[in-house]
Amino acid sequence: MGAFLYFGAVMASLAGVTLIWRGTFLDRLWMMNPRAHDQLSPLGIAVGIAFLLLAATLALAGTGWLHRRFWGWALAVGIIVAQVLGSVVNATRGEFLRGGVGFLFSAGLLYFLLRPKVRAAFAREPSVRTN
């Protein structure tokens, strides 16, 4: 899961960089998803900054996950919940295949994250005692 979160951070960083600084050799990466580029490009620098913030959040979650911190687990759960909701929105907008597949994938990840054994691996940090 940590590697998945870091991979997402790299992809979001690339998207953010190419939306903020246009005309670089990285623009060719959009050939893999020209539809997304057509939809995101008009939104300008603001969406690029949003992608960079998403990348930072994903990297933070990946770090917390790999260090078995409760906050890393909670952040990963929040990210996947947002993905589930986004897939539902896609399906209700008429993108049934994309939304349905996205929902199944993200709901499966959410199920995995919420399993008691997975949750138990992320103990809350001990509280600071002052005596």
Specify whether 5 is located in the same domain as 51. Answer: yes
Q: The pTM is what?
A: 0.83
From 24, 50, 67, give the residue that closes a domain: 67
Quickly count: other Cβ atoms within 10 Å of residue 60's Cβ. Answer: 15
DSSP 8-state code for residue 121:
T
CB contact set of 113 (below 8 Å; sequence gap of 6+): 1, 73, 76, 77, 80, 119
State residue 115's pLDDT score.
95
From 67, 97, 114, give the residue that closes a domain: 67
Q: What percent of the chain has pLDDT over 70?
A: 94
State residue 75's pLDDT score.
97
Range of the domain at 43: 1-67
State residue 85's pLDDT score.
96
- Backbone dihedral angles phi then psi of residue 129, each to the nearest 5 degrees: -105, 135
Specify whether 57 is located in the same domain as 77. Answer: no
Environment class of residue 12 by beta-carbon count within 10 Å: exposed (0-12), middle (13-18) or buried (19+)? buried
Kindly give the parts of the chain with pLDDT less than 70.
124-131
Q: How many domains does the chain have?
A: 2
Specify whether 4 is located in the same domain as 52. Answer: yes
From 67, 92, 107, give the residue that closes a domain: 67
Residue that has been written with the tokens 């996950």 in this structure: 65
State residue 83's pLDDT score.
95
- Backbone dihedral angles phi then psi of residue 93, each to the nearest 5 degrees: -85, 0
Specify whether 54 is located in the same domain as 73. Answer: no
